[in-house]
Amino acid sequence: MPYRYLAAAADGRLVQGTVEAPREQEAQAALAQAGYTVVSLRRVLALPRWDQVFPSLLGVKPGDLVAFCRHLALLLEAGTPLLHALHLLHDHSRKASLRAALAGVAAAVEQGNTLAHALESEAPAFPHLLVRLVQVGERTGDLEGVLRQLASYLEGEQRLAKKLGGALVYPAIVLALAAGVVGLMVTVVLPPLQGLFESFAVELPLTTRLALGTTGWLADNLAALGLAGVTAALVAGVYLRREDGRRRAQALLLRLPVLGSLVLDRHLGRSARMAALLLRAGVPIQEMLEQLAQASGNLVIRDALLAARRQVLGGARLGEGLAQGPLAAPLFLQLVQVGEETGTLDRTLEAAASFYEQLVEDRLGQMVSLLEPALTLLVGGVVAFLALSVVTPIVSITGAIQ
């Protein structure tokens, strides 16, 4: 939850902003770790904005973040002061969500906050990784270079996400059409014909009896099925909101035969790409592992990264720390060890990221190529079954009349 703070920086100036933390103690600890002396801290009880409730629909899009990082880097390299650059980006942005976020960022910077803290106050518009790297860039004096690297990273993530989403479009369309055809046949076509079939002394074929029985059962139990579906969705939602529930569900997902390896390879590629970006920005390995853990949406992966961080703090090398847990893929570990031995860990992780991203894309393409004919056969079989259920008794009735 958000906490609004007023704090004194190390140089004595007062800064204010918002920090996200589950409890007040964690918020105070985060501010103290950032070098601030807290003057006041209070919980923000304001209702969330619509873009925070529906970030995927109304929030800042990945493409907007890419443009923001790239354009801000260009303006800063040209010698434009930070506050003026933020105002320029705000004035020239056509996206309402980005304009609102940039207005808050500019106001926070004008009050004396750093850019990283200003971006953090506008979460979730700006992801944690972006905030952390901007903080590193401000500390090292290479904010422009960090922003360029961030733009390249976010652009690559967006490109891969589009490829993965595009591969699933055709199966989704086929399934939607199949569900529509089945629903139309069961709810519109078959019920009126049932009375017609029963008025003739003709024995109905098995396919028709099955179709009519299914239609009748669905009609009699529609309310109960709807209530059961809503209840199951609510129970699953409550369970997955709990950390232990999400952890069990995500662990089960990683253990699935085909989908589990695909999900794991996706996490390996994403973690390697983020790690290379952080290392190139000058972030130490133990700090890099902590940032990867915080950015990971999978609790099992997060636990493995935090366990590796503890081992690295104890004197182990990165490859040794990752050797236990779901990230211990042989090829990935070998690449990490080679990078550590040769002193080119960032470039090795970049190569590993490209490998695993291409691997995920290829595997997903193979799965879709196998899924398409299977879906075609399934849809054809269902439609043929329903067509036989309607046509066969009509032919029998016509013969009986003649």
**Chain segment 299-343, per-residue pLDDT in tens:** 999 999 999 999 999 989 998 998 888 888 889 999 999 999 998
Tokens of 183: 């629903």
Tell whether omega for the bond before 326 is within 30 degrees of 0, i.e. cis: no
pLDDT band at 55 (very low <50, low <70, confident <90, very high): very low
Candidates 253, 268, 380; CA nearest to 333 is 268
Residues 137 and 76 in one domain: yes
Q: 271: burial class by Cβ within 10 Å (0-12, 13-18, 19+)?
A: buried
Q: How many domains does the chain have?
A: 3
CATH number of the domain where residue 91 is located: 1.20.81.30
Residues 76 and 30 in one domain: no
- State pLDDT tens for residues 136-178: 888 888 889 889 988 888 888 888 788 777 777 878 888 888 8
Among 150, 165, 180, the domain-final residue is: 165
Residues 352 and 318 in one domain: yes
Tokens of 207: 């396919």
Q: Is residue 253 part of a domain?
A: no
Residues 2 and 86 in one domain: no
Query: How many other CB atoms sit within 10 Å of the CB of residue 290?
Result: 17
Residues 76 and 151 in one domain: yes
| Coil, helix or strand at residue 18 | strand
- Say how far apart CA 119 and CA 69 lie, in whole Å: 12
Largest interatomic CA distance in the chain:
101
| Coil, helix or strand at residue 4 | strand
Count of alpha carbons within 13 angstroms of residue 169, beta-carbon side: 7
Cα 72 to chain centroid, rounded: 25
Query: For 194-202, what is the mean pLDDT?
Result: 71
Range of the domain at 333: 259-358
Q: Pick the residue with more confidence: 20 or 340?
A: 340
Tokens of 180: 């529509």
Among 114, 140, 165, the domain-final residue is: 165
Candidates 26, 34, 290, 64; CA nearest to 155 is 64
Residues 291 and 322 in one domain: yes
Q: Please, what is the average pLDDT of the chain?
A: 84
- Say how far apart CA 316 and CA 308 lie, in whole Å: 9
Q: Is residue 329 part of a domain?
A: yes
Q: Residue 235: what pLDDT?
A: 92
Q: Is residue 346 part of a domain?
A: yes
Q: Is residue 377 part of a domain?
A: no
Q: Is residue 192 part of a domain?
A: no
Residues 76 and 4 in one domain: no
Among 340, 358, 376, the domain-final residue is: 358
Q: Residue 56: what pLDDT?
A: 43
Residues 158 and 73 in one domain: yes
Q: Is residue 286 part of a domain?
A: yes
Residues 12 and 84 in one domain: no
Residues 6 and 98 in one domain: no
Q: Is residue 204 part of a domain?
A: no
Residues 271 and 334 in one domain: yes
Cα 8 to chain centroid, rounded: 36
Candidates 44, 68, 59, 53; CA nearest to 100 is 59
The model carries a pTM of 0.69
Query: For 56-78, what is the mean pLDDT?
Result: 83
- Say how far apart CA 270 and CA 11 lie, in whole Å: 38
Q: Is residue 194 part of a domain?
A: no
